[in-house]
Amino acid sequence: MFNTGFIPQIGQFVIVTSGRDAGQYAIIVRLAEKFVYLADGERIPFDRPKKKNPRHLQFIDHVSLEVQNSMKEIGRVTNGKLRFALTKFLNERISEKEKGDETHGQR
């Protein structure tokens, strides 16, 4: 399916590295032969996912189990669940960065 040796997963977080959405976070909601389909529940709703070449994405080693389970159970995910998963993930990343900054000295 993919020649990169890395297989993307449904529910996996990515950062778009090229195109109009460069720098944006999204979640993989569908896999195709040579492409992945992304959604974020806001700008890119589940009903109209964005088709992207995997070479234009930075894959994050984190998968939303809520999204993955919803896709397995009912074959879709709500936009609210996508927004919740992204917000939760980004808040965790921010808190991890702040913890790292605290260990480098405080005033």
What are the pLDDT digits (tens) for 83-98? 999 999 999 888 887 7
pLDDT range class, residue 107, cuts 50, 70, 90: very low
DSSP 16-59: E-SSTTTT-EEEEEEE-SS-EEEE-SSSS-TTSPEEE-GGGEEE
Report pLDDT for 96: 81
> HSE-up of 86 (CA within 13 Å, CB side)?
22
Would you say 39 and 45 are in contact if contact means Cβ atoms under 8 Å apart? yes
Domains annotated on the chain, with CATH: 12-100 (2.30.30)
Calculate Rg over the CA atoms of the chain: 15
Q: Tell whether the torsion through CA atoms of 21, 88, 78 and 27 is positive or negative.
A: positive
Q: Can you say whether residue 105 is alpha, beta or left, with left for phi > 0 and alpha for psi between -120 and 50 degrees?
A: left
Q: pTM for the whole thing?
A: 0.86
pLDDT in tens, 12-57: 999 999 999 999 999 999 999 999 999 999 999 999 999 999 999 9
pLDDT at 102: 67
